[in-house]
Amino acid sequence: MPEGATADRTWPEGLTRIPFWSYQDPAILCREQQRLFEGPVWNYLCLETEIPDPGDWRATFLGEMPVVVARDTDGSLAAFENRCAHRGALICLDDGGRGATDFHCVYHAWRYDLRGNLKSVAFRHGVNGRGGMPDSFCLTDHGPRQLRVTSLYGLVFATLSADTPDIEAFVGPEVLARLRTVAGNRRFEIIGRFTEVLPNNWKLYAENVRDTYHASLLHLFFATFKINRLSQGGGVEISPNSGSHVSTTLAPVQDTDTAYAGMRSVDDDFRLADPCLLDAVDEHGDRVRQQITSVFPNFVMQRTQNVIAIRHFLPRGVGKTDLHWIYLGYADDTPAMRTRRLRHLNLTGPAGYVSLEDGCIGGFVERGAAAAADQTSIVEMGGAGTEAQETRATETAIRGFWRLWRSLVGV
């Protein structure tokens, strides 16, 4: 355990029990920042379409580390820590911008290029021969940390570690294929975005998006209108490193399904006054009604009906998470398809018919386990391993997340 840990604790044997202290200990969050977010993983930054031209940039985070990602003058992508080398102030204060030629720290006007290289220091040689920096001060020896950057089907990722494998190997062939289907052949446009604040540790949301068991039980809209039922076809695929996954729900092959009869308030006779919310088009030819694709540690691409969305979630302390929703369409969408996507957005987000509950369920866990630091949760559905399964009545993807998490964080 890291310095400052609340107790000398050990992890239960195997992958089917998760101790609640792993969500609650501030020392764990510090270790995650150092060994995970700043370690050998690929962190999602932005879409290439957000920074299409030289000088365009966005501000984001690697865990809690502020980062700037920019399009350089030669068209290449660059990213660097959003921290002035002088006194540590943010270099960029806004969420993004266009057409920048350089960046200036507002505190003392130290200037950086689009790759984060220190280019000049205000009054470096003093005034009238007095003051200033010593002659030995070298600009190239100082500057914020710079990241390795890559783009995967227009999705921009970065890492601070030289040991991070190529992103194709990191995400694995199963995840790569699903991302290629959605993002590989058409250019995205952002059609909406907002940030939701979750009252829970970020790992509870990382579990939630991998939890294929809960979707049709917690989200009654899913089960009632047969968007996502465990009795429909589909399954879970896991990356070789076990941290990333794909879960898929297929359209039902028949209208009669009694598997959920009598469960909570699910009623097969329930109807919408305006059924156009259920008017889905199989635009990728794969019968997918719901698909969640994750890239470890905190990136998700979601397909629900004709919603395409990125969920990017970031720790904001031990018990708080920022969840960034980025809704997508294709640049060549017809007006009818764009209208359909915008209508289907009502399914997702903090007030969505099938996402509202996710915004509070992590908080329910935080509150329920507040005095249970040395107790454990149970993730034994579908066995004890991290293999792919042809069912969604499983917690294999959650076990896979924790397997990679433990190897990186070292607990």
Helix, strand, coil percentages (3-state) for the chain, rounded to 5, are 25, 25, 50
User: Are 257 and 180 in a shared domain?
Assistant: yes
Residue 30 domain-assigned? no
- pLDDT tier for residue 225 given thresholds of 50, 70 and 90: confident
Q: How many CA atoms lie within 13 A of 23 on its CB side?
A: 30
* Per-residue confidence (pLDDT) for residue 348, from 0 to 100: 87
What pLDDT band is residue 265 in, cutting at 50, 70 and 90? low
Whether 14 maps to a domain, the answer reads no
CA dist 313 and 299 (Å) reads 7
Q: Alpha helix (H) ranges present in 152-196?
A: 167-183
Give the chain's domain count: 2
- Provide the 10 A C-beta neighbour count for residue 194: 11
Cα gap 274→271, rounded to integer Å: 9
Residues 99 and 179 in one domain: no
Let me know if residue 165 belongs to a domain. Answer: no
The answer to the question of residue 38 being in a domain is no
Q: Do 100 and 184 lie in a common domain? A: no
H or E, element range at 27:
helix 26-32
Instruction: Quote the distance between the C-alpha of residue 122 and its chain's center.
Output: 38
Residue 33 is classified by DSSP as I
Beta bridge partners of 282: none
CATH number at residue 128: 2.102.10.10
Query: 279-309, pLDDT tens digit by residue?
Result: 889 999 999 888 999 999 999 999 998 999 9
Same domain, 130 and 228: no
Looking at per-residue pLDDT, the higher value among 4 and 159 belongs to: 159
Cis peptide bond prior to 199, omega within 30° of 0: no
Q: How far apart (Å, rounded) are the C-alpha atoms in residues 193 and 300?
A: 14
pLDDT tens digits for range 5-22: 444 578 999 999 999 999
| CATH for 378 | 3.90.380.10
Q: Are residues 200 and 328 in the same domain?
A: yes
Q: Which domain holds residue 78?
A: 43-150
Residue 128 sits in the same domain as residue 184: no
Please say if the pLDDT value at position 319 is more than 80.
Answer: yes
Answer yes or no: is pLDDT of 256 > 80: no
At CA 314, angle to CA 309 and CA 319, rounded to 5?
Answer: 125
Residues 215 and 347 in one domain: yes
Residue 137 and residue 210 in one domain: no
* Dihedrals phi, psi of 347, to nearest 5 degrees: -75, -25
One domain, residues 139 and 244? no
Between 32-41, 130-139, 169-178, 259-268, the lowest mean confidence (pLDDT) is in 259-268
